[in-house]
Structure 1
Amino acid sequence: MDVEIVGRMLSTLPADDDHPYRTGPWRPQHTEWRADDLEVIGELPADLDGVYLRNTENPVHPAIERYHPFDGDAMIHMVGFRDGKAFYRNRFVRTDGLLAENEAGGPLWAGIAERAGQSTRDGWGARGRMKDSSSTDIVVHNGIALSSFYQCGDLYRLDPLTLETLGKSPWTPSCGVSAHTKVDEHTGELLFFNYSTEAPYLHYGVVDAADSLVHYVDVPLPGPRLPHDMAYTENYAILNDCPMFWDADLMAKGVHVPRFHRDLPLRLGVIPRRGGSDDVLWFEAEPTYVLHWVNAYEEGDEIVLDGFFQHDPMPADNGQPGSVLDQRSTLQAGLRGIFRFLALDRLQTRLHRWRLNLATGQCKEEQLTESITEFGMINPGAGGRPYRYTYAATGKPGWFLFDGLVKHDLVSGTEERISFGEGVYGSETAVAPRVGSTSEDDGYLVTLTTDMVNDRSECLVFAAQRLSDGPIARIRLPERVSSGTHSTWAPGSSLPGWRA
């Protein structure tokens, strides 16, 4: 292994830090590495060619008062695969907020669990006066990696091979861009939305394959909302108005606390991909909050939409056995709500299907499995098209940690699963189609793990058709990485200079 330290970030976190989301599996890193010819246990297939990218909330400075795990600064991890070998890079995204706090030597902006009025400067975010940490998602569009912030911010551009920050997307609207943009491999377009506390509250846009903003329209809503994700088909984009949003009375006092409105339906908005505000067709469904959609496609007059239905979007804080509350005696009482809204078993997230009939305006829905999973990934070539498989994470009870992986077969209804092992936690698992692949699951699954037992991290590679056989290769990383979530796969053929 050829390893070099290329940078370090000076942190002001306390040496005796005991915050449950800044210690243990979430212990942040502050060293940037370049590592080539990584040690491989097993054998990397030569037809695995491209890069796996994962975004990470990785705090450099403490919170003003109360840290939320989504406040952390963006660190991108990249594992590249070429000619049966692997290489690794990790870099902080040099956001405006991180650079300003580094210069000030401490926090400047209030986090998600703090009052916006505690910020010492104006900032970003759907509610305003937040730091745009850009630490939520990562995609690759037009050969450039883009990191994003879940409550709307700039899209930061990065070289997908070196992870050098290249600035911000110049077309970003004043309301920013929400966490989950969608790249359609068939058209090269990037679809996005944003939201805010000001009417019309939601916008939808399209960026073409040449990275030009070509479509941007209002999508009026009844009031401020908290959409997190979207879906698309060949001809439509699907937006949402979930009945969990900021409490209006508290908002009037400058406090932004979400509340689940059980008497309101979930509304799903279908808009032609280049449609206008008046073209949105709204469907009503059972009340829930959907954090992540899996995919959507057209079938006759219907749009088939799959995502994760939360059976308890606002779980009661009962301190159930095995929860973080029982295991962290020093946990602040004010943090209780954070953990309720992160553990998959508390939210009861299950794969669900909605059928939206464009002719009748009716919505039919069904639960697809009893298994509790989330963060589903698909073959990127199946985006917006009929598909069969999704690969989703299982969660450690009471914790925001991924302890395994499930392959859902949506045609047969069967499932194949694997556990990462005691004390080992994974990331969102990207699907890497094999070079020359001929079917949807003809490829590989790639994820990063945080191994608390052996104090190390590895990149695991599975054969997508044989998940339960275990990893075909394990790649050792130079440092144990902090637990993280969203990821993407980019084939080498899509990256400028890949062979150079």
Structure 2
Amino acid sequence: MTDVLEPATTTATTATDLPLRRPSDNIYLSGNYAPVEVEVTAHDLPVVGEIPVELEGRWLRNGPNPESVDDVAKHHWFMGQGMVHGVRMRGGKAEWYKNRFVLDADSRSAGVFGANTNVGGFAGTTWAMVEAGMPPCEMSYDLDPLGINRFGGTLDGPFTAHPKYDPTTGELHSMNYQWPDLVDHVNYTVVGPNGRVDRNLAIPVPDMPMMHDMSLTEKYAVVYDLSVTINFDVLGAGFPFPFKWDPDRPCRVGLLPRDGAADDIVWCDVEPCYVFHPLNAYDTPDGKVVVDVCRYDDMMVEDRCGPFTESPATFDRWVIDPVSRRVTETRIDDMPQEFPRHNPKAGLREHRFGFTSQVKPTEVNLHGVINKYDMAAGSVERHDFGFGRGGAEPVVVPKADRSEEDAAWIMTVVY
């Protein structure tokens, strides 16, 4: 686990001057979910412990961070202009910390919805990303906003927060939905190594499902067509995020051959559920697909503000059989958890290890943990952050001089 970076005096203000909006009746606007109101630049951060010298680059994270909220009671966690936080590491030092809104001040004042969910780099650029519409927003290496990136004008439609990278082809794959422009289909988009769209395939769906993520194997793009959809009653009641659990909607997973047409998708029924994030997926020698997921029994049944107060996510393994069109589900761990990650060197092939973060959103005095799962041994190790502390998404950085799958640095923010 990484060492803690202590707060530093900043060039803009000091930590004691920051006006933090902590108390709120909406849990997604309070405590550690509360928005950060100022952009900060801090240099030469003090370090407790040691930063491994081989960790050279930027640790980045993104979050909704609304600049203003019109109606606290109806505010959804997924809404906001977006803010990227970053720490630049080099030579065992933390050279800088910066946080920047994804959009410039003019866009934010106009109420533009930002790319507020994920952040990453591809084709020499840094992207902030969101599901359900907006293309990526490009940022400079120093996190200054550069505007919307439509892949050199080749993206005609939405993008996603969670594209999947194929290290063999250098391609980026995504499943994209957009309300209200796409009401009867989602787009499967492939971006080439040059940062331009090579393929865009429309996949018909019976209504508009919330499709937060996808999976990718060497043979298939995996489509999650699950039981959370647009709900016009929610929309009519004035909630800005109009998706809701639909108990009567069939739930299915699709296997799309990567060079196939929409008619080639093999749809496999699955018990009603919702999945935000899969860990990794791979093809088996007998033609099946294995994927480990954080699975919710239901999602946003009554809670209009976020995903964590009702049915917690468990960690499950799905084996998808395109011949029988069945999905076999096995529970790995019933601890409430989310944000699964794996060693990127194991992407698209069988993985042995996976990492997740425990979720305790409504507990103030939490003991949060990061889980390390050994799929071969059927075991789990838990790293406890201690009383009153919790961890965020674990980022897996392979060690440069080691080949073992679990030889990696696990990076997260602890609050």
Q: Aligning the two structures, in what range does the TM-score lie when normalised by the shorter sequence?
A: 0.7 to 0.9
Match of 1:362 in 2: 326
Question: Which aligned pairs between 1:78-117 and structure 2 lie closer than 5 A?
Answer: 78-95=86-103, 99-102=106-109, 108=111
> Is structure 2 residue 72 aligned with structure 1 residue 54?
no
Q: For the structure 1 residues 410 and 380, does the alpha-carbon distance in structure 2 shift closer, same or farther, using more than 3 Å as the test?
A: same
Note if 1:447 corresponds to 2:412: yes
The match for 2:167 among 180, 185, 198 is 185
Structure 2 residue runs without a partner (length 5+): 1-7
In 2, are the aligned partners of 1:269 and 1:282 still within 8 Å (CA)? Answer: yes
Deviation at 1:311, TM superposition (A): 2.5
Q: Distance in 1 between matches of 2:38 and 2:361?
A: 31
1:150-169 pair list within 5 angstroms: 150-159=131-140, 161-169=141-149
**1:380 corresponds to:** 344
Residue 4 (structure 1) shift: 2.5
- Alignment partner, residue 46 of structure 2: 39
Deviation at 1:380, TM superposition (A): 1.5
User: Which amino acid in structure 2 is aligned with residue 309 of structure 1?
Assistant: R
User: Closer, same or farther in 2 for the Cα pair 1:15/1:262, shift >3 Å?
Assistant: closer
Tell me, in whole angstroms, the C-alpha distance in 1 between the residues paired with 2:341 and 2:357.
9
Work out the CA distance in 2 between the residues paired with 1:177 and 1:232: 16
Give CA-to-partner distance per residue, 1:109-141, whole Å, 9 cap, x none: xxxxxxxxxxxxxxxxxxxxxx42211111211
Choose between structure 1 and 2 for higher RCO, CA contacts under 8 A separated by at least 6 residues: 1
Which of these residues, 392, 401, 404, is aligned with residue 436 of structure 1? 401
Q: Supply the distance in 2 between the matched residues of 1:352 and 1:48 (Cα, whole angstroms).
A: 31
2:257 aligned residue? 272
| 2:272–2:298 CA contact under 8 A, matched in 1 | no
Question: Do structure 1's residue 75 and structure 2's residue 56 form an aligned pair?
Answer: no
Aligned partner of 1:306 among 292, 295, 308: 292
Partner of 1:285: 270
Q: 8 Å contact 1:379–1:440 — kept in the other structure?
A: yes
- The alpha-carbon distance between structure 1 residues 253 and 83, as it changes in their structure 2 partners (threshold 3 A), is closer
2:342 aligned with 1:342, yes or no?
A: no
For the Cα contact (< 8 Å) 1:89–1:163, is it kept in 2? Answer: no
How far apart are the structure 2 equivalents of 1:69 and 1:207?
29
Alignment partners' CA distance in 2, 1:53 and 1:261: 35
In structure 2, the residue matched to 1:393 is: 357
Matched, 1:244 2:246: no
The answer to whether residue 127 in structure 2 is matched with residue 146 in structure 1 is yes
The 3 A distance-change label for structure 1 pair 418 and 203 is same
- Does residue 296 of the first structure (1) align with residue 281 of the second (2)? yes
SS in 1 for 2:334: strand
Go from structure 1 to structure 2 and tell me whether the alpha carbon gap of 1:100 and 1:414 turns closer, same or farther (over 3 Å shift): same
Q: For 2:120 and 2:260, how far apart are their aligned partners in 1?
A: 24
- Tell me if the contact between 1:5 and 1:31 (Cα under 8 Å) persists in the aligned partners: no
More displaced, 297-306 or 46-55? 46-55
Secondary structure at 2:121's aligned position in 1?
strand
Shift of 1:164: 1.9
Structure 1 range deviating more: 53-62 or 352-361 = 352-361
Q: CA deviation at 1:293?
A: 0.9
Equivalent residue of 2:305, what SS?
helix
Residues 451-484 of structure 1: CA deviation (Å, up to 9, x unaligned): xxxxxxxxxxxxxxxxxxxxxxxxxxxxxxxxxx
Does 195-204 or 242-251 show the bigger shift?
A: 242-251
Per the normalisation by structure 2, the TM-score is 0.85
Contact 2:22-2:30 within 8 A present in 1 as well: no
Q: What CA distance in whole angstroms lies between the structure 1 residues aligned with 2:394 and 2:89?
A: 16
- 1:37 is paired with a residue whose SS is strand
Give per-residue Cα distances to partners, 1:168-217, cap 9 Å, x unaligned.
22237443212222223333211112113444321110001110100001
What SS does structure 2 have at the residue aligned with 1:140? Answer: strand
- In the alignment, the residues of structure 2 paired with residue 14 and residue 373 of structure 1 have an alpha-carbon distance, to the nearest angstrom, of 26
Measure the CA separation in 2 of the matches of 1:393 and 1:94.
Answer: 25
Give per-residue Cα distances to partners, 1:15-56, cap 9 Å, x unaligned. Answer: 987654333223332333333332111122222233221002
Aligned mates of 2:21, 2:54 — CA distance in 1: 45
* Change in CA separation of 1:263 and 1:164 when aligned onto 2, cut-off 3 Å: same
In 2: Cα distance, 1:152 partner to 1:13 partner: 30
Partner SS state of residue 280, structure 2: strand
**In structure 2, what is the equivalent of residue 136 of structure 1?**
117
Distance 1:447 1:100 in 2: 30
Are the equivalent residues in 2 in contact too, given 1:406–1:418 (CA < 8 A)? yes
Query: What amino acid does structure 2 have at the position aligned with 1:79?
Result: V
Count of residues paired in the alignment: 397
Letter in 2 for 1:92: R
1:422 deviates by 2.5
Deviation of the 1:57 alpha carbon: 2.1
2:277 and 2:23 mapped to 1: Cα distance?
A: 35
Query: What TM-score do you get using the length of structure 1 for normalisation?
Result: 0.72
Superposition CA RMSD, Å: 3.0
Structure 2 residue 392 is the aligned partner of structure 1 residue 427:
yes
The 8 Å contact of residues 89 and 162 in structure 1, kept in 2 or not, is answered as: no
Q: Structure 2: how far apart are the matches of 1:86 and 1:246? A: 44
Amino acid of the residue matched to residue 184 of structure 2? P
